[in-house]
Amino acid sequence: MLGADAGAPDCAHGDKRTALVLSFSDLATDPRVSRQLSVLHPRFEVTAAGFRCPDTPGLRCSPVPRRHWSPAARAYAALLLKARRYERAYWSSACVQGAQDVLRRGRYDLIVANDIWTLPVALKLKGNARVLFDAHEYAPLEFEESWKWRFFLQGFNDYLCRRYVPLADAATTVCDGIAREYQRTTGTRMTVVHNSTAYQDLRPTVAAEGAPIRLVHHGAAIPSRQLEAMIEAMRRVGEGYTLDFVLVPSVPRYAEKLKSLAAGDARIRFLPPVPMHELPRFLNAYDVGIYLLPPNNFNNRHSLPNKFFEFVQARLAIAVGPSPEMAALVTRYGLGVVSDDFSPASFARVISGLDRRRVAGYKAAVDAAARNLSFEHAGEIFARLVDRTLSLPCAA
């Protein structure tokens, strides 16, 4: 992790380096931001700014407003966006204005700006700091499947990326495909920091002889993820398998729709969500973590989500569709199976080919890869990037 004598100049003030982590998200539940804080907090005097503060002793935290525009201001913002008055629209955001108000007096050595919405304000607050931009996903195509998003926000996000991403001192994102696209469109080279979770000292579980193979999927119930495809696949696999959904009802009507689609199939259950830090131990009782995610937008096509790495730390075999980022790791480490296409029929075929012997072999491979695919490894990449970024000469 970050060394106390990383060789960085003290561009701000005092003996201990200072860092600001800015994210327009709920800091108490945002896993990627939480992991950034876990790397920085032991070595920096850290201020976090976002919608809700994490319960981290000794961490300074500044809440910012939860929405960009009030209902009364949205119509005016929409007009600005359609008129391509992107700068004016951006600086009219309540989140942006709130961040400026609470952070303007701070002086920092490092500012970590999460997602494109925070980058312009981070650069404005920069002073002598180094700014590290964490793109998370590819912002210009974030919700491209939505006509409303395309109509109002696609051009705005594209503008912000082309205008501001090249101004960051360093940049990260979650996978290779997204990094390549940012380099193509902005000329910025990105360091890949996977959304991996902390290493868990767990071992693969062994089911009783004759017990069904237990499949599990966890995450948010969001329509664009088309989780119903996994229900349809489950109808095709026959007996000997069960599937539990452990879902956060992000879109309650959609969550209820999924339950209706699965009604009458006793092999499919819906369980309440589990706290993030408890997930690997909870999942450890299962056999196979599954995710069939249609490539209906750029970020879904290049998805390499938290849940993939939670499956790994839970020591589960993994079954996925041919999403290139997930499929590459499954193939590289021998973690499980990849369907030929994204159809429920194809996914059902690879699930049906899993028996106890094959599942045990995949679980053993997952166990062997768990350290390489943990945040201890990804956190070192992030820490080294921070050190290199801070070693840049101070601005005049």
- The predicted-structure confidence for 96-109, as pLDDT tens digits, reads as follows 999 999 998 889 99
Residue 353 class from Cβ within 10 Å (0-12 exposed, 13-18 middle, 19+ buried)? exposed
Number of other CB atoms surrounding residue 69 within 10 Å = 18
Are both 181 and 239 inside the same structural domain? no
Mean pLDDT (whole number) for 241-265: 96
Q: Are residues 44 and 186 in the same domain?
A: yes
Is residue 78 a part of any domain in this protein? Answer: yes
Instruction: Tell me: do 354 and 382 sit in the same domain.
Output: no
Shared-domain flag, residues 109 and 253: no
The more confidently predicted of residues 72 and 216 is 216
Same domain flag for 57 and 78: yes
Do 255 and 223 have their domain in common?
yes
The proportion of the chain whose per-residue pLDDT surpasses 90, expressed as a percent, equals 87
CATH number of the domain bearing residue 94: 3.40.50.2000
46 lies in some domain: yes
Q: How does pLDDT run across 1-33, given as a tens digit for each residue?
A: 333 333 444 454 446 899 999 999 999 889 999
Tell me if 125 is assigned to some domain: yes
Flag whether 288 is in a domain.
Answer: yes
Q: So what's the pLDDT on residue 281?
A: 96
Q: Is residue 112 part of a domain?
A: yes
Give me the torsion for CA of 23, 28, 29, 30, rounded to 10°: 20
Domain extent, residue 161, equals: 18-196+375-390
Residue 56's Cβ-count burial label (10 Å; 0-12, 13-18, 19+) is middle
Per-residue model confidence as pLDDT tens digits over 167-185 = 999 999 999 999 999 999 9
250 occurs within a structural domain: yes
Residues 312 and 384 in one domain: no
Judge if 52 and 157 occupy the same domain. yes
- State whether 188 and 228 are in the same domain: no
Residues 61 and 125 in one domain: yes
- What's the domain count of the chain? 2
Query: Tens digits of per-residue pLDDT, 138-168?
Result: 999 998 988 999 999 999 999 999 999 999 9
What pTM, to 2 d.p., does this model score?
0.90
Residue 253 has pLDDT above 50, yes or no: yes
* Residues 231, 176 share a domain: no
Q: Are residues 141 and 252 in the same domain?
A: no
Residue 5 lies in a domain: no
Average pLDDT over residues 206-212: 85
- pLDDT range class, residue 58, cuts 50, 70, 90: confident
Residue 2 inside a domain? The answer is no
pLDDT score, position 394: 53
Tokens standing for residue 294: 């249609």
